């Protein structure tokens, strides 16, 4: 049985294009340490999943494939997919005190990987620069509370670009985009910034990008 599980798992991974395989690893980061995932090849990822989810690796993989929209692979390999397995990893209990990683409903915290709306495109550097030009002096508050970035990283950005607030904002948004990878869409950033105290023009600008 274990051998069949390993063979099926490897066949599923080999059926994925490289971009989707990398996305699959990214989506697994909430369950497997990123240090193990990032350098893993397809066969190495099979070994990691078999070790961490003995007897359950196919079900875990099926849940990720559902997030990727690859229901065809779930059907082709007859992967187990139970209804109680959510499409997205559940949030940690938050209590009454909001975490500094952002609004749990917005998907702005590290590890939160909501599927972007079909009509939302990924943000370009030009888009981010236009947002950066509109951000005010509260950029660090925005970065920590709403984009889920570390204060130490924001201070590093400030040191690397002395006396240039627009570049601070731009590099902060780039850092967020690097972390979010394929999820750094217009709608995702809009969701992150909506609770912030910002110039309404920023949200209007992002809304205009949605209509483009």
**pLDDT tens per residue, range 139-168:** 888 988 889 888 889 999 999 888 889 999
Alpha helices for the chain (secondary structure H): 2-15, 18-27, 34-37, 42-52, 57-68, 71-76, 125-132, 139-141, 151-160, 165-180, 186-193, 200-211
What does the alpha-carbon distance between residue 131 and residue 188 come to, in Å, rounded to a whole number? 14
Q: Where are the domains of the chain?
A: 5-77, 125-211
- Give me 191's structure tokens: 């969701």
Q: Do domains 5-77 and 125-211 have the same CATH topology?
A: yes
Tokens of 15: 């059926």
- Report residue 92's pLDDT band, with 50, 70 and 90 as the boundaries: very low
What pLDDT, in 10s, does the model give residues 103-130?
A: 433 446 544 444 444 456 889 999 999 9
Distance CA 174, CA 155 (A): 15
Tokens of 76: 């082709």
The predicted structure's pLDDT at residue 88: 37
**Over pLDDT 70: what percentage of the chain?**
79
pLDDT: which is higher, 82 or 99: 82
Q: What is the pTM of this model?
A: 0.47
CATH for 125-211 (1.10.533.10, 3.40.1190.10, 3.30.1540.10, 1.20.1730.10): 1.10.533.10
pLDDT confidence tier of residue 82, bands split at 50, 70 and 90: low
Instruction: Summarize pLDDT for 24-62 with one digit per residue, the tens.
Output: 888 888 788 878 888 899 999 999 999 888 888 999 998
Residue range 5-77 forms a domain whose CATH class is: mainly alpha
The angle subtended at Cα 182 by Cα 176 and Cα 188, nearest 5°, is 60
């Amino acid at each position: 049985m274990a051998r069949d599980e390993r063979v099926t798992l490897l066949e599923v991974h080999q059926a994925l294009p490289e971009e989707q395989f990398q996305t699959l690893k990214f989506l697994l980061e909430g369950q497997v340490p990123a240090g193990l995932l990032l350098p893993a090849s397809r066969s190495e990822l099979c070994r990691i999943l078999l070790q961490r989810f003995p007897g359950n690796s196919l079900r875990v993989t099926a849940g990720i494939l559902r997030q990727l929209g690859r229901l065809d692979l779930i059907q082709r390999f007859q992967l187990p997919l139970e209804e109680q397995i959510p499409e997205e990893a559940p949030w940690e209990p938050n209590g009454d005190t909001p975490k500094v990683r952002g609004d749990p409903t917005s998907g702005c915290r590290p590890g939160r990987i909501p599927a972007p709306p079909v009509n939302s495109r990924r943000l370009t550097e030009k888009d981010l620069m236009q947002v950066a030009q509109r951000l005010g002096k509260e950029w660090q508050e925005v970065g920590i509370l709403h984009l889920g970035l570390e204060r130490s990283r924001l201070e590093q950005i400030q040191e690397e670009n002395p006396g240039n607030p627009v570049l601070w904002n731009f590099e902060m948004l780039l850092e967020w985009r690097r972390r979010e990878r394929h999820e750094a869409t217009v709608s995702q950033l809009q969701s992150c910034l909506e609770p912030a105290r910002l110039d309404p023009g920023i949200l209007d600008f992002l809304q205009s990008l949605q209509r483009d």
